[in-house]
Chain A
Amino acid sequence: MELTNISFKKYRGRRLDPDQLAGHSVTYWKDVWRRIRKNPTAVLSLAALMIILTLSVIGPIISGHDLSTINPKRANMNPSAENWFGTDNLGRDLFTRVWYGARASVIVALVCTLIQTVVGCLYGGIMAHFGGWVDEVMMRVIELITSMPTLLITILTMMVLGNGMTALLVAMSITSWCGTARLIRGQIMQLRESEYVLAAVALGASPFWVILRHLIPNTFGLLMLTIATSIPDYIFTEAGLSFLGIGLQPPNTSLGVLISIGQQTMDFFPIQLLFPALILCVLVLAFNLLGDGLRDALDPRLRQ
């Protein structure tokens, strides 16, 4: 199409401020948050998570029952006004126990994720920073650890350290940091070669500034994603280990412990298995969906 003078008309309206025309600038994180809010699945799973987390904190308080008070007269009750989720074979209130268990499961998952992230970032950062033979040797260590079935390492570690909470945390995060370390190393190596870092260095930015201002914020998105996908994995693994009798053991409580107890009485009192299993599923589903939403929000390029 040929453009002539007739194609344009002079604007005769109110004078506009050029700054206003451009719109106010939106930071990356505001943008991410906006995209998450627009995603109904993510909002829904965020809400579900909030409800579960709140209940796992206040649930044992509002039920009016104690975690360990045994009441043989009220054993194996169905849900009622007195015991909202019924009682177990010793007459303990299941509502209290289920939320206690959920709390333990979530705490285990969060602490493991924290360990994984911190160790992974440090290890990956050191690898990327030093490079050369240090990188080579440290990479070999990772390859060695990842070339063994993870579950076996976890089980062996649990055996050595015993069945406590600390042992579980160590055993579950002993291999998982490798993936994070690799990710961070790759990301930093890639970012360091990028043009804006070169530009910053050319403008006289100190290494400290480059790390603080460019490397960390740009790695953060990927890190968030790893965290979001790690948490449900840990909740799974914990439940599985406890189910096999290798993880936490009674009197400790977690969703896995409750499920393994529930399986023993499944044929007669399915209610005792239903509630912990249901909460485990919802918890994991919510984390997974939120993770999916987060991935779309963090990197719109991945969207089809």
Chain B
Amino acid sequence: MLSYSIRRFAEMILTLFIIATATFFLLAAVPGDPLTERVEKLPPQIRQNLYEKYGLNKPLLERYVITMRGLAVGNFGESIVYPGQTVQSILQEKLPASARLGIQQMVLGIGIGMILGIIAAMKKNTWLDYGIITLAILFISIPHLIFGLLLQKIFAGELGWFPVIGWPKGKDLWTGGWQYTILPTLAGCFSYIAAYSRLLKTSMLDVVNQEYILTAESKGLSKMHIVLKHVLRNSLIPVITNLPMSIAMCITGSFFIERIFSIPGVGMYYVLSVNERDLPLIMGQTVILSIIYIVVIFITDILYTVVDPRISIQGGRR
């Protein structure tokens, strides 16, 4: 177990190194940098100084070494478009909004999804089951892009129940300003409801056919007891294995919703930096987002074995 964790950790570091390298050279291949446009009208001496400040006059490989050394000590770079802002300062400001949106979406979506999944499995082949599964397919097919626009139009635009755009700031950052967060949360949570209700239903139906359920029934246990103690516990494994992917998807999944509702989150800012060709910022954000993504997957890989002892980690391959 320990050696497996250590090996996975080493792999993780290697992966990050390769991702950073690939991102660096990809960005180096982007035609034009944000300075080209800005320095056109400046005198040559100032232009020279600016290029020197950002190290853009140095050869590619030297820039690569400097960047990587910066990453290693946690210096992710400074914005070219907004001088003085660093990747850290920006993320400190933007991450809470994205995190809150993501957590709210997942808690609500997965919660409701699991309840619906249990109902669909318990009432198999009734109209309730068909209704839930049909709804799930419908929700999967409506992109949250459209869903967000629809909610915004109806509840914020026509009915005026909620503000159209915006996000709580200051002391309301985590717990206040609910009127701002309700619509974006709803818009994003439906894909979780759809995915998890289907997942849990299938997995519960698998477990119901197992022999230990028959044993439990023959012991005369109540239906409630069987479902809670035996069926549900064993059918949670696929849910848990899917959870990290959801968290990882959540990091980039909110790009669209943040755009629709103008939420000052990571996704919104990433797209902004891309549109402004702010290379150091893109580099830094890509690396940090990848770190979050990879760490989440790493933790789950370790968690799998804890949750389900049947999963063997011999040789580290499943």
Min Cβ gap B37→A in Å is: 15
Is A127 an interface position by the 8 A CB rule?
Answer: no
Is B246 an interface position by the 8 A CB rule?
Answer: no
Min Cβ gap B208→A in Å is: 10
CB distance A152 to B26 under 8 Å? no
Given A155-B270, A156-B27, A244-B271, decide whether A280 and B252 contact each other with a Cβ distance below 8 A: no
**CA–CA, A248 to B168, complex, Å?**
33
Min Cβ gap B123→A in Å is: 14
Given A156-B282, A156-B286, A281-B141, decide whether A267 and B157 contact each other with a Cβ distance below 8 A: yes
Query: CB-nearest residue of chain B relative to A232?
Result: B141
Chain A 209-240, CB within 8 Å of chain B: the 1/0 string?
Answer: 00000000000000000000000100010011
CB distance B259 to A292 under 8 Å? no
CB distance A243 to B259 under 8 Å? yes
The B-contacting residues of A in range 111-149, CB under 8 angstroms, are 143-144, 147-149
Is A246 an interface position by the 8 A CB rule?
Answer: yes
Is A72 an interface position by the 8 A CB rule?
Answer: no
Interface residues on B, range: 35 or more
Within 8 Å CB of B286, what residues of A?
152, 156
Within 8 Å CB of B297, what residues of A?
147
Is B115 an interface position by the 8 A CB rule?
Answer: no
CB distance A147 to B293 under 8 Å? yes
CB distance A157 to B26 under 8 Å? yes
CB distance B145 to A240 under 8 Å? yes
Given A156-B23, A267-B157, A277-B149, decide whether A246 and B289 contact each other with a Cβ distance below 8 A: no
CB distance B271 to A245 under 8 Å? yes
Is A150 an interface position by the 8 A CB rule?
Answer: yes
Within 8 Å CB of A160, what residues of B?
26-27, 29-30
CB distance B274 to A144 under 8 Å? no
Q: Of the candidates B19, B30, B153, which one forms a contact with A159 in the assembled complex, judged by CB atoms under 8 Å apart?
A: B30
Query: CB-nearest residue of chain A relative to B143?
Result: A236
**CA–CA, A149 to B245, complex, Å?**
10
Min Cβ gap A299→B in Å is: 14
Min Cβ gap A272→B in Å is: 12
Min Cβ gap A44→B in Å is: 13
Is A304 an interface position by the 8 A CB rule?
Answer: yes
Given A263-B149, A281-B142, decide whether A148 and B290 contact each other with a Cβ distance below 8 A: yes
The 8 closest A-B pairs by CB, nearest first: A285-B141, A151-B252, A149-B252, A284-B141, A277-B146, A288-B141, A149-B293, A236-B143
Contact residues of A with B, CB < 8 Å? Answer: 143-144, 147-152, 155-157, 159-160, 162, 232, 236, 239-240, 243-246, 259, 263, 266-267, 270, 273, 277, 280-281, 284-285, 288-289, 292, 304
* 7 A-B contacts (beta carbon < 8 Å): A144-B19, A148-B19, A148-B294, A149-B290, A156-B286, A160-B30, A289-B137
Contact residues of B with A, CB < 8 Å? Answer: 15, 18-19, 23, 26-27, 29-31, 124, 137-138, 140-143, 145-146, 149-150, 153, 157, 205, 248, 251-252, 255-256, 259-260, 270-271, 274-275, 277, 282, 286, 289-290, 293-294, 297
